[in-house]
Structure 1
Amino acid sequence: MLIQNDENIGLWTTDLDGNVRIGYRQTLEGGHEILAVQKDGLTPVYTCRIEETCRPIRFHKDGQRVYLISNRDGNLIQLKLLNLESQQSQVVEVDPENQVDFGDAVFSEATDELIATFYVGDRIRIYPQNDKIAADLAFLKQQLPDVDIVLQSLTLDDRFGLVGTRSDVNPGSTYLFDRSTQTLEKLYDDRPELPREHLATMQPIRYTARDGLEIPAYLTLPQGVDPVNLPVIVMPHGGPWARDMWGYNPFTQFLANRGYAVLQPNFRGSTGYGKAFLNAGNNEWGTGAMQHDLTDGVQYLIDAGIADPERVGIFGVSYGGYATLAGLAFTPDIYAAGASMVGPSNLITLLKSIPPYWESIKAKFALRLGDPDDPSDRTRLEAQSPLFSADQIQAPLMVVHGAKDPRVKQAESDQIVAALRDLGRPVEYLIAPDEGHGFRKEINSLAMTAGLEKFLAEHLGGRYQAEMSSDVQAQLEKLTVDIETVTVNESSEPEIVELDPAIYNRYLGTYQLLPNMQIAIRVEEQQLLAQATGQEAFTLYPVSETKFVAQVADITIQFNLSADETVKGLTLYQGDQELIASKVK
């Protein structure tokens, strides 16, 4: 064993000799810290707050410094070198165009020197750090035009390299590059069966939001059709703390093939464009500027003559599903149809469902979306929740969910479907009982796509292939829900019982919930408390002698007894999650 993890470390970094030298973990406040491994323990050498980014990448060849990425001292994420002894850092590089965050670094296997950096702007930009790499890149760009190039890895002597390429009409190809002879050998294509000649090109565009902020986006137009008065699908990405990039996207290509122009905005709150752009999305869901950025993108296409204002739809997954619901609820005059996949409809129940072992996610949501236990935040969250404005939704809606989704519970879709049904509004519903946060099984994906294709064709007028294989047809029928059967379970508070506080003593101790998480049970002021590793304690209220509930995050804890009535462990329930923990002390 190289090192024992007793300090909740999420990432270890070795030096170039294989010695474990750096630990990296999340702080109780939601930030991160880099710690040096020393004989007497771990010493913090670099920290960043929850709204900042910092992470070690690789040791410098001198063994005393470590490369890291950080935006602690600036807007954009930079590449830095941190001296472990002095704890001082210096900037190695920041985007030469001052537009986007640092992307990644490539190091020589022979000399351990930094040889290239790259950034993801409208497309990938690579910056060589020496003349040899500059010559290599010039050769590769000449041989591989119209694609983004990625230097994937090098042999130990740096002679051979794996080079990856990708584009909007190519999911990817991989080549073996002989740097000494300047020759390329194609090894394989990803998805070689795709008819690349029928795929549509993706254009990076910019448009100005109503408050003057420039919004980067991608526009894909259908082949063989004049870009005038087209049906349009706005496709906001999930996350929302993520971004879309130039390259092959199966949903984009499918929709373009069916005749739709596809707009993918990197709305404010997206990552990759600096801290200010990311923070501009804080608390701006639904009725705020994040959604306005989508609306302004539609107006840009209308003003350009590309979009038919009567045939604009919106489709998204996760946050994109939420943005779909918000678009239909808060801007009902904009969209003629919408499709939401695993999208939350009620931000309060979404936040309340975050389990205690996702404390880092909970802290991020509290910063960037709000705290449902704060009265002022709760009022805003209700106003930003499409469920509470369901009566404003007029356009037809298709809802898709996986019954095993641990992030966005099925109830988020159930409640919006039931609300629209009761209002007499057109709504369709697909549920896959064997899927989670997004579909992974091919038959489910094919069935869902077939259903989506038909739905959009009916309401926006795109092309539609009615014929499908019998197994896809059967699966689509299996996934389709009769909306009259949808029920919403109204949560009721369990009845709290009175127990002799002396009973609590039998439960005291530490329980191993996950490999890096324990739950400590203790008594304070005659109340039973539970506290997970690195988190705040919460009170447990008895509903029986062995079963307790918490008023945070809908948690239930059942203490498990052996035949001799001694406590051997506990089971933590939250939503459809069930975690069993053994008592360790």
Structure 2
Amino acid sequence: MGRILLLLAAVFSFSVMPAEAAEPPSLEIYGNLPSIRSLAISPSGERVVFLRDDGEREYAAAFDFKKNEMIGGVNTSDIKAHDIYFVSEDYVILFVSETEYKPGYRSEYEFTTAFSWNVETDEVKELLRYEDELHPGQTGLGYIVGRMKDEDYVFMPAFIGLPNPDLDLLKVRLESGVSVSSESGTYHTRDWIVDENGNVVAREEFDDKANLYSIFFYVNGRPVKIYEEETAIPDKSLVGVKPDGSALIVDVTLADTDRDALVALTPNGKFSERLYARPDAEVESVLSDFNRVVYGVRYSGLKPSYEFFDPALERQIASAQATFPDASVRLTDWTDDFETMVLRVEGGAAPPAYYLYRPSQHQISHAGSIYEGLGADQVGSVNIMKFKARDGVQISSILTLPPGGAVKGGYPTVILPHGGPASYDSVGFDWLAQYFASRGYAVVQPNFRGSWGFGESFKEAGHGQWGRGVMQHDVTDAADAAIKAGVADPERMCIVGASYGGYAALAGGAFTPDLYQCVAAFAPVTDLPRMIFDEGLERGRRSWVVDYWTKVIGDVNKERDRLEDISPANHAEAFKAPVLLIHGNDDTVVPYRQSRIMEGALKGADKDVELVKVKGGDHWLSTSEMRLETLRALGGFVDSHIGQ
């Protein structure tokens, strides 16, 4: 990480006729990272920081409202900056990563770390850089789980020791980046909760070999095991503490509601009450302070909704949402007293933007455009589309139409299944969908069975249903629904996806070859037995990750023939449409060889295929360079086959 540190020098200077649309924005507006992202506010509300991409360079910037000026900046052009936030009035945390390879390890991995940035002095320090016993090759480094009240110290979990490390909790000084004390964990520790005085409150563990999940509550500085459960795949998660400190808060799936909810776990190990639970939505995000004191939750849904311990805060957020009735309003940050909140608003008629909300002043002010240069008349309209699948189950989708477009039909159409597969698409600003909409395409994003956010039964209905089952049928039925609704031109339809969505795109080309005129997949899984084998090799055959994929896809030992049969690489001869494969050679989630396998199979069957290798590309397209290369290849491919 020495190279990262050297790069962080301060650099501040500051019918069937679609409606006619405005001149489309440049590809670069979508391909570059957002102009502003991760906007965060200081505890007092007097400063903000954000990550900035001006089209030429990327950097972190800080603005002081009292001084009415920018007060500093840090160059992030040559690293992957993921997040930025305040931990005190003067100190900011910059969370970054880079893909690394260490001799003795099987493959590349994504190394993460955190830097403290003093916006008063412009000093930048890598946290834990000088920790002598830091275990090499660990992922997940750089996360902060607590801070000291009125002192410049934070608490960070890290694996310490060789050859068998434990996940200890380190107290780290922001000024130097050096740890000054630690609390011992174990190899099985996976999370900590610590209060603002530096006292450990709780610890969470999972023994992957013994299949034991445990929660420890600290009494007078000593851990007491208050909960234990035998499970191959943990379905509970310690997320925080109640505001009065009387109980821990745990994320669970409730049998009667079939949804993720938050419940209280008392110090005597009893689940005592439901704190946040709805029959029609999942707890998607926990809203808490740095020491995990929970204020409320954001629920899943095609538009987000909220619930708080404080009814007044709940009313304030509802008022903000009412200001933007057609958009999704996401609360992303707030001051210590909630007098100022940061809102990210997207999915309505206006371009996505950050707003500062001051409820006591009844004021919502524009804080920054997320995609600068994008006008209101250039934003594709985002609609909710629901249809019945072939077996009668209702499926929700997001339909994005060209700017000014109406549902009259005749649009060349992109079917865009999401990745995961346990995720979902909602009303918002999807940069890829908006790019295609700006070029005259309709974009359909189906929330097929196996998606998260619609209940445990809906998610589990996708288990074992990859390729030839209901997961893929729902994607196909979404395409058919768009045709029947008069939105899509059946002669100009392409399926595009990334990660699992890339698998679904290739499965569409293999198992419904007459439906699509082109197929494009970014970082796809193409050979399922090989994928599960690689996971076992990387993590161990008894890892919960292998158990998870066995549950979701199938048992490679007992069902190899079925998994071979639903692997697109084994059906190259069935493809009729041309195929574009895009894959980063530094992908640490889905190996690049998965696309090489698919390319080889299609070439062997004498099919039309191109593989674009994104040099240095990761699974998330973390930089503008990666996004631009991908979008140029993808946009040109789709235009050449179903464009106007």
TM-score range, shorter chain: 0.7 to 0.9
The 3-state SS of whatever aligns with 1:296 is: helix
1:331 match: 512
Matched, 1:412 2:412: no
1:299 match: 480
Kindly provide the CA deviation profile for residues 360-392 of structure 1, in whole angstroms up to 9, marking residues without a partner as x.
3222111111232x1x31111011111111111
User: How much has 1:353 moved relative to structure 2?
Assistant: 1.3
1:395 match: 577
Counterpart of 1:247 (choices 428, 434, 439) is 428
2:415 match: 234
Counterpart of 2:496 (choices 315, 318, 329) is 315
Classify 1:44/1:169 alpha carbon distance in 2 versus 1 (closer, same or farther; 3 Å): farther
2:216 match: 35
Alignment of 1:467-478 (within 5 A): none
The 3-state SS of whatever aligns with 2:490 is: strand
User: How much has 1:165 moved relative to structure 2?
Assistant: 2.5
CA distance in 2, matches of 1:287, 1:250: 29
For 2:603, give the aligned amino acid: R
For 2:242, give the aligned amino acid: H
User: How much has 1:135 moved relative to structure 2?
Assistant: 4.2
2:631 match: 449
Query: Are 1:237 and 1:319, in contact at CA under 8 Å, matched by a contact in 2?
Result: yes
The 3-state SS of whatever aligns with 2:360 is: coil
Counterpart of 1:132 (choices 266, 288, 312) is 312
Counterpart of 2:364 (choices 171, 181, 184) is 184
TM-score (norm 2): 0.66
The 3-state SS of whatever aligns with 2:192 is: strand
Structure 2: tracts of 5 or more residues without a match: 1-180
Query: Are 1:169 and 1:201, in contact at CA under 8 Å, matched by a contact in 2?
Result: yes
CA distance in 2, matches of 1:437, 1:274: 27
The 3-state SS of whatever aligns with 1:452 is: helix
User: How much has 1:138 moved relative to structure 2?
Assistant: 4.8
Kindly provide the CA deviation profile for residues 421-442 of structure 1, in whole angstroms up to 9, marking residues without a partner as x.
2222111221123213243343
CA distance in 1, matches of 2:634, 2:529: 28
Query: Are 1:14 and 1:59, in contact at CA under 8 Å, matched by a contact in 2?
Result: no
Kindly provide the CA deviation profile for residues 329-378 of structure 1, in whole angstroms up to 9, marking residues without a partner as x.
11112111100111121111111111433733222111111232x1x311
1:362 match: 546
1:121 match: 301
CA distance in 2, matches of 1:263, 1:160: 36
The 3-state SS of whatever aligns with 1:236 is: coil
Classify 1:107/1:384 alpha carbon distance in 2 versus 1 (closer, same or farther; 3 Å): closer
- Higher RCO (CA-CA < 8 Å; seq separation 6+): 2
Matched, 1:223 2:395: no
Classify 1:399/1:447 alpha carbon distance in 2 versus 1 (closer, same or farther; 3 Å): same
Counterpart of 1:89 (choices 257, 272, 276) is 272
Kindly provide the CA deviation profile for residues 62-94 of structure 1, in whole angstroms up to 9, marking residues without a partner as x.
433012221054410112111121423321231
CA distance in 1, matches of 2:187, 2:331: 35
Classify 1:454/1:283 alpha carbon distance in 2 versus 1 (closer, same or farther; 3 Å): same
Alignment of 1:45-56 (within 5 A): 45=227, 47=229, 49=231, 53-56=235-238
TM-score (norm 1): 0.72
1:290 match: 471
Counterpart of 1:26 (choices 206, 227, 235) is 206
For 2:192, give the aligned amino acid: W
User: How much has 1:240 moved relative to structure 2?
Assistant: 1.1
User: How much has 1:48 moved relative to structure 2?
Assistant: 7.6
2:442 match: 261
For 2:275, give the aligned amino acid: V
CA distance in 2, matches of 1:420, 1:199: 37
2:18 match: none
Query: Are 1:31 and 1:51, in contact at CA under 8 Å, matched by a contact in 2?
Result: no
2:388 match: 208
Query: Are 1:285 and 1:384, in contact at CA under 8 Å, matched by a contact in 2?
Result: yes
The 3-state SS of whatever aligns with 1:219 is: strand
Kindly provide the CA deviation profile for residues 188-224 of structure 1, in whole angstroms up to 9, marking residues without a partner as x.
2322332332010111121111122211211111234
Query: Are 1:238 and 1:320, in contact at CA under 8 Å, matched by a contact in 2?
Result: yes
CA distance in 2, matches of 1:77, 1:260: 36
Classify 1:33/1:256 alpha carbon distance in 2 versus 1 (closer, same or farther; 3 Å): farther
Matched, 1:68 2:250: yes
Query: Are 2:578 and 2:607, in contact at CA under 8 Å, matched by a contact in 1?
Result: yes
CA distance in 2, matches of 1:45, 1:15: 20
1:561 match: none
1:80 match: 263
CA distance in 2, matches of 1:281, 1:115: 33
Counterpart of 2:459 (choices 272, 278, 289) is 278
Kindly provide the CA deviation profile for residues 311-336 of structure 1, in whole angstroms up to 9, marking residues without a partner as x.
22100011111111111111112111
CA distance in 1, matches of 2:253, 2:382: 30
For 1:386, give the aligned amino acid: P
Kindly provide the CA deviation profile for residues 519-573 of structure 1, in whole angstroms up to 9, marking residues without a partner as x.
xxxxxxxxxxxxxxxxxxxxxxxxxxxxxxxxxxxxxxxxxxxxxxxxxxxxxxx
Counterpart of 1:433 (choices 594, 611, 615) is 615
For 1:152, give the aligned amino acid: T
User: How much has 1:270 moved relative to structure 2?
Assistant: 0.9
2:171 match: none
2:115 match: none
Kindly provide the CA deviation profile for residues 132-152 of structure 1, in whole angstroms up to 9, marking residues without a partner as x.
235423542454443322333
User: How much has 1:449 moved relative to structure 2?
Assistant: 1.7
Query: Are 1:313 and 1:338, in contact at CA under 8 Å, matched by a contact in 2?
Result: yes
Instruction: Using the TM superposition, name which of 30-39 and 282-291 deviates more.
Output: 30-39
For 2:555, give the aligned amino acid: D
Higher-Rg structure is 1
CA distance in 2, matches of 1:309, 1:346: 29
User: How much has 1:186 moved relative to structure 2?
Assistant: 3.1
Instruction: Using the TM superposition, name which of 55-64 and 227-236 deviates more.
Output: 55-64
CA distance in 1, matches of 2:422, 2:212: 16
CA distance in 1, matches of 2:470, 2:518: 21
The 3-state SS of whatever aligns with 1:84 is: coil
For 2:638, give the aligned amino acid: L
Query: Are 2:189 and 2:205, in contact at CA under 8 Å, matched by a contact in 1?
Result: yes
Instruction: Using the TM superposition, name which of 390-399 and 184-193 deviates more.
Output: 184-193
Classify 1:177/1:432 alpha carbon distance in 2 versus 1 (closer, same or farther; 3 Å): closer
1:166 match: 346
Alignment of 1:483-498 (within 5 A): none
Query: Are 1:36 and 1:45, in contact at CA under 8 Å, matched by a contact in 2?
Result: no
CA distance in 2, matches of 1:156, 1:148: 24
Instruction: Using the TM superposition, name which of 404-413 and 49-58 deviates more.
Output: 49-58
CA distance in 1, matches of 2:394, 2:359: 41
The 3-state SS of whatever aligns with 1:435 is: coil
